[in-house]
């Protein structure tokens, strides 16, 4: 069973960030800043999925205190290029985490989608937790293809981090995998004829990068 954590249900600041991201009047600077903030919140809230250990430190008052340290850094894997601002938020929280990148294009024809991965920068092996980061979990088919890549590299635990997920995408991944965890700010109910999430926030790549592809 896929586990879903919808942060907007209990975290008002998540809804405040969504207000900025969904608003069509939000310009490039504010959109990008809000996406970075969304990444920070997703990273903090999902940090409970990582392995931690108690560690002893000495304060400036020469007193000992017991706090937490990561056992293993997660690997942050972004889907280019829409995920770039979102990854930046994760990197602010996990500055020592390695970063992997995957580029995929979707070819739409006759109501179906074929996913083509044309670039990947991933480790051959990784035994820690992988964050799979993309602002929009729409059909789930791009993530499914990348998840297969990650399992082939011995990654045992995958945490999906999205700003908005669709019910269709969640159902699709749930029918394929039973050991995923999805963190998202919101779940929207449907996709339109172009497979965009509705009401969504538009094209996250165009809005966050400021350039429309040719």
Domain assignment present for 190: yes
Domain assignment present for 57: no
Give me Rg for the CA atoms of the chain.
Answer: 18
Q: Cα(208)–Cα(211) distance, rounded to whole angstroms? A: 8
pLDDT 10s digits, 178-189:
889 999 999 999
pLDDT 10s digits, 8-62:
999 999 999 999 999 999 999 999 999 999 999 999 999 999 999 999 999 999 9
Residue 108 binned pLDDT confidence (cut-offs 50, 70, 90): low
Model-level pTM? 0.94
Domain assignment present for 111: yes
Q: How many domains does the chain fold into? A: 1
The CA angle 99-103-105, to the nearest 5 degrees, is 160
Domain assignment present for 156: yes
Say if residues 132 and 159 touch (Cβ distance below 8 Å).
yes
Q: Cα(4)–Cα(47) distance, rounded to whole angstroms? A: 15
Which position has the higher pLDDT, 212 or 181?
A: 181
Say if residues 186 and 163 touch (Cβ distance below 8 Å).
yes
Q: Which helix (H) or strand (E) holds 34?
A: helix 28-45
Pairing of strands 64-70, 52-58: antiparallel
Domain assignment present for 61: no
Domain assignment present for 30: yes
pLDDT at 110: 54
Domain assignment present for 65: no
Domain that holds residue 184: 3-51+71-209
In CATH, what number is assigned to the domain containing residue 126?
3.40.50.2020
Sequence-distant (≥ 6) Cβ neighbours of residue 109 within 8 angstroms: none
């Amino acid at each position: 069973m896929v586990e879903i954590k919808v942060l907007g249900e209990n975290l008002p600041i998540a809804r405040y960030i969504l207000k900025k991201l969904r608003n069509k009047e939000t310009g490039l600077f504010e959109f990008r800043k809000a996406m970075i903030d969304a990444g920070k919140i997703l990273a903090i809230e999902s940090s409970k999925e990582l392995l931690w250990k108690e560690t002893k430190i000495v304060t400036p008052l020469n007193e000992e205190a017991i706090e937490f340290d990561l056992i293993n850094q997660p690997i942050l894997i972004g889907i280019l290029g829409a995920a770039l601002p979102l990854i930046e938020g994760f990197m602010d929280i996990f500055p020592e985490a390695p970063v992997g990148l995957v580029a995929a294009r979707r070819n739409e024809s006759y109501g179906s989608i074929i996913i083509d991965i044309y670039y990947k920068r991933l480790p051959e092996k990784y035994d820690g937790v992988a964050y799979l980061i993309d602002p929009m979990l729409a059909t789930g088919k791009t993530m499914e293809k990348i998840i297969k890549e990650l399992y082939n590299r011995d990654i045992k635990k995958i945490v999906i981090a999205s700003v908005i997920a669709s019910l269709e995408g969640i159902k699709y991944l749930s029918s394929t995998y039973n050991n995923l965890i999805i963190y998202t700010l919101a779940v929207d109910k449907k996709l339109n004829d172009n497979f965009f999430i509705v009401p969504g926030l538009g094209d996250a790549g165009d809005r966050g990068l400021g350039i429309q592809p040719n």
